Every structure is written in structure tokens, then in C-alpha cells.
């Protein structure tokens, strides 16, 4: 039968009367203890991803390269940004009107 440890702490004896409850890390506060037949269960999605990585060993490297191309930016030159902001000309509220 599966039991859940939901925020429970395991007691540890210190002396005759006192019991200390050790801190349980957050990642273990909601843990299911599964029966042995489910211990090695792997979902279809995990099987697919593992097979994909096995068939294409450079997959993660190409994913990192794509991420670097789209998301990783070079450091901003603060002096250039300041000069660029200072040189900006304010746009009028209505640009189609006569001057």
C-alpha cells in the first residue's frame, strides 16, 4: 500500500522525555513510497526521450546551440546604451498633424 509523507517528521530520541523532529528538505515533504512492482516504472514520454537521445547523441549539444542563438545575449555596453538613450528624439503625440 502506498503511503505519502506529507510534511511529517520522523522523531529521534534525545533522552528519556525529549524527542527531536529533524528538518525534512522541501523536496522530500511530499514523497510517495511505491510498491516494488512500480519502482522501475518509466513513462512513455521518458522512454521516447531516452531513445531519442540514444539515437542522436549530439541532440543536447544542438539544443544548447539553438538556445544560445535565440536567447543568450552578449553583455550590454552601458556607455553605449546611455549615449543611445540620450540621442533619442521624442516623438510627437500625433505625428500626422501640421507642424
Q: Tell me whether residue 11 is in a domain.
A: yes
- Per the structure, the count of domains in the chain is 1
Q: Tell me whether residue 18 is in a domain.
A: yes
Q: Tell me whether residue 27 is in a domain.
A: yes
**Tens digit of pLDDT for each residue in 32-90?**
666 777 777 888 999 999 999 999 999 999 999 999 888 888 888 999 999 999 999 88
Domain that residue 28 falls in: 1-36
DSSP E strands: which ranges in the chain? 3-6, 12-13, 19-20, 30-33
The whole-number average pLDDT for the span 2-8 is 48
Q: Tell me whether residue 48 is in a domain.
A: no
Alpha carbon 13 to chain centroid distance? 38
Amino acid at each position: 500500500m502506498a503511503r505519502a509523507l506529507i510534511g511529517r517528521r520522523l522523531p529521534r530520541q534525545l533522552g528519556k522525555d525529549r524527542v527531536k523532529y529533524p528538518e525534512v528538505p522541501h523536496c522530500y515533504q511530499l514523497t510517495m513510497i511505491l510498491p516494488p512492482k512500480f519502482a522501475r516504472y518509466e513513462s512513455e514520454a521518458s522512454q521516447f526521450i531516452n531513445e531519442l537521445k540514444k539515437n542522436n547523441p549530439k541532440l543536447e549539444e544542438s539544443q544548447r546551440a539553438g538556445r544560445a542563438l535565440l536567447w543568450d545575449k552578449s553583455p550590454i555596453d552601458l556607455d553605449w546604451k546611455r549615449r543611445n538613450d540620450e540621442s533619442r528624439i521624442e516623438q510627437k503625440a500625433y505625428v500626422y498633424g501640421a507642424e
